[in-house]
Amino acid sequence: MTHDPKHTTAQPAVPDDAQKPNDLSEEECAAIQEARADLAAGRYHTHEEIVRWLRTWGTDHETDGPD
C-alpha cells in the first residue's frame, strides 16, 4: 500500500545527516538507505495496519501481511 508521505509521522531511525557508525557493515548502511528511499516514496505500512495483521496470528482468520 502506498501512503502520502506528507501525512505521516514516520521518522527515520537514523537521521539523514548521521555519519556511518563504525559497527554497521556496508550492507547494513545500504539497507538503511533503501529503507529511507522507500519511506520518502511512501512505500510503507502504518502501525495500525501491522497491528491489525498481527492480531490475526494464531486465529482461525489469520491473514497474509499487508500488501
Q: How does residue 24 score in pLDDT terms, banded at 50, 70 and 90?
A: confident
| Residue located via cell numbers 490475526 | 56
Q: What pLDDT score was predicted for residue 20?
A: 62
Rounded to an integer, the average pLDDT of 55-61 is 96
Q: Which domain holds residue 48?
A: 22-67
Residue 55 lies in a domain: yes
Of the CA atoms within 13 Å of residue 63, those in its CB half-sphere come to 11
All three cell numbers of 41, joined, read 516514496
Greater confidence (54 vs 23) lies with 54
Residue 6 lies in a domain: no
Greater confidence (13 vs 62) lies with 62
Residue 58 lies in a domain: yes
Q: Which candidate, 38, 50, 10, places its Cα nearest to that of 30?
A: 38
Other CB atoms within 10 Å distance of the CB of residue 52: 13
Residue 63 lies in a domain: yes
Please count the structural domains in the chain: 1
Q: What pLDDT score was predicted for residue 17?
A: 58
Q: How far apart are CA 67 and CA 65, in angstroms?
A: 6
Residue 37 lies in a domain: yes
